[in-house]
Amino acid sequence: MSTEISAQTQSAAQHPRRSFWRTVNNYVALTKPRVMELLLVVTVPAMILAQGGLPNLWLVLATLLGGAMSAGSAGAFNCYLDRDMDRKMKRTKNRPLVTGEISDRNALVFAWVLGALSVVWLYFTTTWLAAALSVGAIFFYVVIYTMLLKRHSEQNIIWGGIAGCFPVLIGWAAVTNSLDWPAWVFFLIIFLWTPPHYWPLSMRYRDDYAAAGVPMLGVVRGRATVGLQIILYAWATVASSLLLLPAPGISWLYLVVAVVSGGYFIIQAHRLYGNAIRGQEGKPMLVFHGSITYLSVLSLAIAIDPLLPF
């Protein structure tokens, strides 16, 4: 490891421009941009639904920037706290704290600064409630999920997944400075969606999580049990999505999208379970990616429906 870091340092001295962008890319990697993108996907639809139309463009951009910093801070804290586990997993072997391209201290400072900036930014550009929810999101992901649940409970992703529901509330609060019932329904949808989204990943990387000592459901339970849980949560997710139907701005378009995309999600979950009870691994990543497609399409319908002239 020391030889590798020394070689990287020598290369950086010879190519300062390349080194600068490599460093930037490493700090971006700390924020877990793929997770951040998924969280931001639900923020704009929540804002449109809260507004009953298009919100002020500056408000949308300010909220997205604040939300990105908040999610990025939580991701950086997670990378810092889980660096010992990341060294044991093939899936995370290229993270900056594992390769040594960013020091532990710098990563921790970066996480604190980014989190503080997100709260201050949201407070001055949106509402105090959105800023407070940003604090709650970071706290829940870092303390409740990463520090308390992830290493100690097979239910970790269920309750830890609440952190991923906060962007909906932040988006709604940025528009209205309140939290009305449709915001909580959207929150519930994402809460129920998170386990059937993440558990297939834990099935695919079961050996990785086992090597790191993380008691994900895919590690401590058999494939059939995990598959059944995925089915139950997929059905619950689709059922909860229908609770948005009475919300102002929601019409038949959302109903059609919710039923069709939800049916696709459920079918994929049943296929995975069918393979599991036959003793086959199946294609858990198909369910993982299918869950992302489902939430993205559903969010798009929530965003478009209030803009239609009927």
**Is residue 169 pLDDT above 90, yes or no?**
yes
What is the mean pLDDT of the segment spanning 86-96?
87
- 253 and 160, same domain (yes or no): no
**Is residue 5 pLDDT above 80, yes or no?**
no
**Is residue 173 pLDDT above 80, yes or no?**
yes
- What CA–CA distances, in Å, run from 298 to 3, 143, 154, 294? 49, 30, 28, 6
* Cα three-residue angle 182-260-296, rounded to 5 degrees: 55
- 154 and 201, same domain (yes or no): no
The region of weakest confidence among 24-38, 75-89, 257-271 is 24-38
**Is residue 186 pLDDT above 90, yes or no?**
yes
* Spatial CA neighbour of 219 closest among 197, 234, 233, 204: 204
- Encode pLDDT of 235-244 as tens digits: 999 999 999 9
pLDDT confidence of residue 3: 47
Residue 45: domain span: 32-179
Q: How confident is the model at residue 36 (pLDDT cuts 50, 70, 90)?
A: confident
| Rounded Cα–Cα distance for residues 19 and 189 (Å) | 42
- 198 and 254, same domain (yes or no): yes
- 171 and 221, same domain (yes or no): no
pLDDT confidence of residue 4: 45
**Is residue 255 pLDDT above 80, yes or no?**
yes
pTM, entire model: 0.89
Other Cβ atoms less than 10 A from the Cβ of 17: the count is: 7
Residue 185 lies in a domain: no
- 36 and 175, same domain (yes or no): yes
What is the mean pLDDT of the segment spanning 15-19?
68
* Spatial CA neighbour of 121 closest among 111, 134, 140: 134
- 225 and 139, same domain (yes or no): no
Residue 20 lies in a domain: no
| Rounded Cα–Cα distance for residues 2 and 99 (Å) | 10
The CA-based dihedral angle spanning residues 156, 157, 159, 165, taken in that order and rounded to the nearest 10 degrees: 150
The region of weakest confidence among 101-110, 129-138, 199-208 is 199-208
| Rounded Cα–Cα distance for residues 164 and 180 (Å) | 18
pLDDT confidence of residue 11: 47
**Is residue 32 pLDDT above 80, yes or no?**
yes
Residue 18 lies in a domain: no
Share of the chain above pLDDT 90, in %: 64
